[in-house]
Every structure is written in C-alpha cells, then in structure tokens.
C-alpha cells in the first residue's frame, strides 16, 4: 500500500476550503457585523470610488428673483477606498506530515487544525478592524511600572484579541498618526480575567519608550488596517485632514456620521435618542450593533418588556439573536457582537455599507495552483491566506455612533 505523501494534500485542502475560500458559515460564525455587511468581491484596480451627494442644489426662495440669484449646484464627494492586505501563515512540520502518512484521517486533522487556527487569527483581525479606525491598535496599556515584565490592559475586554506567542509593538498614538516605537516583545502569558499581559523580560527593555497609556499593536499592523466604523464615524467631528480623499469638515454629519453622547442615560434611552438623531438626518437604520455585555445589560434593563427576534446574515445560512427596539421609523434590531467596543453602540443602515475586497475574503494564496509551499529552509510545508479588503460607506450621515 502506498504511503500518504504531502502531494496528496491538494484534494484534502480542496475538501476543507473549496475553491480556496473558507466556508461562509465558519467565517461568519460569532461575527454578526461581518456576516450582515453587503459584499463586493470585485474591488480590483487602483481603488473603489464611493460617490455621495451631501448638498442639494440651492435656488429656492419665496422671491423668484432671489431664487434665481442664489442658484448653486449639488454638492458631491467621492471617497476613494483602497483595499488593505492582511495575512495569516500556517506551517506544518515534515515530522507531523510523516506521522500521518499511514492514516489519512490523521493527516487531514493535522492540516485542518493548523489551517483553522490560522484562519481564526485572520478572522479575529478582520472583525476587530471592522469596528476600529484603521490604526491597528488592539488595546491600550493601563498600569505599567518601568522594568517590569507585566502590564495591565486599560480595558480587560481587549484581552480576547491577544494570544500567547503574539509579537507586539507599541506607540503613544493609536496608529492613525506618528510612528511606532522601535522593538517588539512576545506575549508569554495572559490573565484574561485581570488583563495582565506578560513577556519574558521587561517590556521597556524590548520596546523603546514603552509606558502606561501606550497603544499596542500586532507586529506590522501599525497604521495598516482597514478603515472600520470608528474611521467612518469618529468619536469627534472630523477635521480638514482628508479621509479617503475627502475633506469631511465641510459637512461633518453627512460626510462623517452622527455622534450622540448617551453615557449619562439609561441604556435603552440612549439607544432610542441616538437612533432618532440618525432618523432626523434622513437615515433609516435597521440594526444597532453593541458589545455582548451591553446587549445583556439592555435585556436586563427592559425586563419583562424585552422582545427578542432573529436577523439573517447577508449571504450565509446563519441567523443572529436580536432585541427589538421601537423607533419612529419602525422596529430596529439590536445585535450583540463580541468584537465591538464595550462603550459604543453603532446605529447602522446596512444598505449604505459595503465590504469591498479583491476576490473572496479570505482566500488561500494559491494563484500558481499550489495551495501549500515546501519550505526552502526547513523540513515542512507552509500555507498562506490573505484578505484584501476595506469598508466603504455611501451615506455616513445615515449612520451613527452612540457613546454609552
């Protein structure tokens, strides 16, 4: 009987990932926003142009002469959205391959385990980025004492985005400006209950200038992630600095979204009042996305008045549990996403958003027909995955950010 060889992996990979893409039910599981967003997988070329009308033509008055004298044209802008790259690499040793040669099932499990672990990291990177500002920060240092091997996260909820073995960089900025500190350090332990993160020698001996309040990044992510909701609808009104080629300061709401501070209100009131601001601007939001803890708090606050429902995903056989919230334009679905910020609710009109990508998101790098590569400098094989994507919005002013 012929032994199972590494060359036999091709059909196995095709079984696991048909056509080089991850099955949608796996990629979208526990990722409601990613699942709900409309998709465009044909974003090839230099960039995707997303035009919008933000100012109507003028020339109206009770006086004909004044109406005619004050005629102006419509005001248009066009966001130029370029896709951003994100990679995941899985390596399988020759020894692991050999151990499975007599048992096809063993070999499949070895490949599948490493592939799925790699894909989970890539997915986690994307779903985190969809809510953030493109800077790449995955957390912030809270307490840190010089020369120590541990620091405490400012928000313990960010621990879910960290992994033992992850290589971190840091900076005083969140990645949307400045330049990253020199050096990096590897996480050797995480306490997910307390937010304490450990490395093998002092953080500031490995990362120059590392200190409390620094932002932390996966090595290579600084300033290089896709533009998520926080980029399109920032916490403060955008200034003159161009965003995807557009100066949003000329109309900070229609070009930069609605902002509402509901932090001093009960959660259900904050969501209703913030949603009404979006409706006032002409939006017809159909979902509010919140962190899982916020969802639980809302359910408790509503008590016996809570009404649950289900929301189907965009193009997968998945549904997500919702809380129905009454708004002036009709009921709106509140959805829990563990990847969302803990202190923000996103009021979204989904048909104004598109996740643009160059091909499937994600996909195996197999353009040459080889889904895996023999490592040239070691005994093993390597499998590479990528997504090239970015988020676009054709009507930011019909969407909102509620601070909780």
Distance CA 13, CA 369 (A): 12
Q: Report which DSSP code applies to 378.
A: S
Instruction: Give the position of tokens 């032994």.
Output: 3
**CB-count exposure of residue 307 (10 Å: 0-12, 13-18, 19+):** exposed
**CB-count exposure of residue 122 (10 Å: 0-12, 13-18, 19+):** buried
Q: What is the pLDDT of residues 88-139, one digit of tens each?
A: 988 887 777 676 656 655 656 666 777 778 888 999 999 999 999 999 999 9
Q: What is the pLDDT of residues 46-74, one digit of tens each?
A: 889 999 999 999 999 999 999 999 999 99
The predicted structure's pLDDT at residue 140: 98
Distance CA 11, CA 372 (A): 12
**Average pLDDT of the residues in 267-271:** 97
The predicted structure's pLDDT at residue 2: 39
Distance CA 33, CA 327 (A): 21
The predicted structure's pLDDT at residue 217: 98
Distance CA 66, CA 52 (A): 28
């Amino acid at each position: 009987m012929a032994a199972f060889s590494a060359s036999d992996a091709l059909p196995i990979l095709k079984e696991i990932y048909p056509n080089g893409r991850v099955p949608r039910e796996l990629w979208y599981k526990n990722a409601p926003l990613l699942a709900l967003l409309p998709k465009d997988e044909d974003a090839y070329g230099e960039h995707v142009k997303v035009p919008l009308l933000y100012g109507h033509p003028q020339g109206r008055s009770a006086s004909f002469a004044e109406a005619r004298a004050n005629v102006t044209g419509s005001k248009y802008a066009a966001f130029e959205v370029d896709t951003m790259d994100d990679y995941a690499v899985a390596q399988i040793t020759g020894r692991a391959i050999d151990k499975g040669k007599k048992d096809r099932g063993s070999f499949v499990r070895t490949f599948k385990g490493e592939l799925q672990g790699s894909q989970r990291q890539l997915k986690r990177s994307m779903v985190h980025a969809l809510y953030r500002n493109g800077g790449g920060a995955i957390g912030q240092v809270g307490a840190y004492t010089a020369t120590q091997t541990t620091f405490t996260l400012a928000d313990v909820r960010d621990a879910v985005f960290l992994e033992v073995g992850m290589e971190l960089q840091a900076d005083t900025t969140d990645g949307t400006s400045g330049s990253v500190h020199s050096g990096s350090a590897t996480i050797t332990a995480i306490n997910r209950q307390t937010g304490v993160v450990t490395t093998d020698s002092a953080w500031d001996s490995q990362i120059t200038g590392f200190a409390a309040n620094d932002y932390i990044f996966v090595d290579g992510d600084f300033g290089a992630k896709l533009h998520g909701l926080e980029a399109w609808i920032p916490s403060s009104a955008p200034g003159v600095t161009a965003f995807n080629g557009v100066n949003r300061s000329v109309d900070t709401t229609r070009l930069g979204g609605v902002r509402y501070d509901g932090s001093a209100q009960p959660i259900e009131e904050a969501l209703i009042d913030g949603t009404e601001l979006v409706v006032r601007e002409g939006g017809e939001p159909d979902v509010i996305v919140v962190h899982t803890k916020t969802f639980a708090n809302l359910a408790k606050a509503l008590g016996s008045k809570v009404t649950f429902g289900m929301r189907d995903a965009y193009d997968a056989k998945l549904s997500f549990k919702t809380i129905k919230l009454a708004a002036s334009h009709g009921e709106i679905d509140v959805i829990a996403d563990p990847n969302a910020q803990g202190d923000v609710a996103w009021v979204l009109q989904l048909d104004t958003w598109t996740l643009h990508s160059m091909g499937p998101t994600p996909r195996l790098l197999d353009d040459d027909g080889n889904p895996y590569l023999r490592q040239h400098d070691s005994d093993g094989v390597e499998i590479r995955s990528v997504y090239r994507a970015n988020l676009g919005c054709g009507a930011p002013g019909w969407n909102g950010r509620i601070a909780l």
